[in-house]
Amino acid sequence: MNLNHVAGIALRQFYLYKGNFARVVPLFAWVAVDMVLWGFMTRYLNEVTSSGYDFVPALLGAVLLWDFFARVMQGLTTGFFEDVWSRNFLNVFATPLTLTEYVSGLVLTSIVTSAIGLVVMLLLSTTVFGLSFAAYGVMFIPFVLVLFLFGIALGILSSAMVLRLGPASEWFVWPIPSLLSPFVGVFYPLSTLPEWMQWVAKLLPPSYVFEGVRTLVAGGEFSGATLGWGFALALLDIVLAGWVFQRVYRYAVRTGLLARYSAESVS
């Protein structure tokens, strides 16, 4: 893998952001709105409840982690969509660029864009609403890592779906985080879910993260081995997503789908 090729993909995205401020604003605007909204919500819940339970690390921390996951996924897919929207996808693969280099460049772009959102969320949640990560301890880093890996896996899988079904199918991509959130228990324990949803949750790495968040905030001990299972699932998801993307790409090349790529779905 040529690192210059990978950097070239990321550099193209940088120039797109540099040349249009409207692309930069969404990197931090929506996550800032979420932090403010949920920050005041948790502050209100702390005032009206007498249980002594601190909702800030439980709810606001969960929102921060979930928004980070969504930023990672959308950072990768948006980079892919830029080539789709500009009809540049065919041109990219007319170069010596390999599929692995292209995807790696998108991953690098996602790292940068999601890091910007994470920094903004950390600044707002800690300075304005007093969110302390002491409740999570050193587990905060593996929590973020698992969500990052799963976000990358979903981003690759979503890009494969759009490559196979056509640009119009991008509207199936944006709701994915919202569709997953009921299963992973962002705001409530998995035990509240029906049994069939709990089985689905066991296959989703974020569910282990948010169960760990609630356990640590409540003063309990969360097993690192349990989070390790979530980490292994996230790695497996990346491998499967990469395999699917490669298969779809080969199909697109073999059938001439790339040459017929247009603004409408291709069957």
Displacement of CA 225 from its chain's centroid (Å): 23
Q: What is the largest CA-CA distance in the chain?
A: 64
**182 has pLDDT over 70:** yes
pLDDT at 94 over 80: no
Q: How far apart are the first and last CA of the chain?
A: 32
Model confidence band, residue 69 (pLDDT cutoffs 50, 70, 90): very high
Q: The whole model's pTM is what?
A: 0.89
Is the CB of residue 61 less than 8 Å from the CB of residue 217? yes
pLDDT reported for residue 193: 92
**CA pair distance 100, 6, nearest whole angstrom:** 9
Q: Answer whether residue 262 shows pLDDT above 90.
A: no
pLDDT tier at 66 (50, 70, 90 boundaries)? very high
pLDDT exceeds cutoff 80 at 136: no
